Amino acid sequence: MNIIQSEIRTVQTPKGALRLRYRLFSEDSLETGREYGTSITSLDTGEERKVPALTCDEARARAFFAKLVRGTVTLVSLTDLAEDFILE
């Protein structure tokens, strides 16, 4: 896994502040050459959600990553947003 971009944001939730690390990464693939994915990790609990092989298009992956960071998306909604992104 090659980390392309990483951002840390603090999200205010009803239970208090949550520090999240967002990552955009790439992985080599025999089928497509290179695939891009994202992950969100809670720096407070260590919990992580990862969406590998999201797309083979780096520009689309960067746009999705920017949307996650801008919207301070949490671990709970990452999978749903990724599914919507794939269907676009």
Q: What is the pLDDT of residue 26?
A: 96
Q: What is the DSSP string of the chain?
A: -EEEEEEEEEEEETTEEEEEEEEEEEEEETTTEEEEEEEEEETTT--EEEEEEEES-HHHHHHHHHHHHHTT--HHHHHHHHHHHHH-
Which pLDDT score is estimated for 58?
Answer: 94
Interval 25-60: pLDDT, tens:
999 888 878 999 999 999 999 999 999 988 999 999
On the question of pLDDT at 68 being above 90, the answer is yes
Per the rule left: phi > 0, alpha: psi between -120 and 50, beta: everything else, 33 is: left
- Give the residue carrying structure tokens 């239970």: 15
On whether the pTM is more than 0.95, the answer is no
pLDDT for res 32: 74
Residue 15, pLDDT above cutoff 90: no
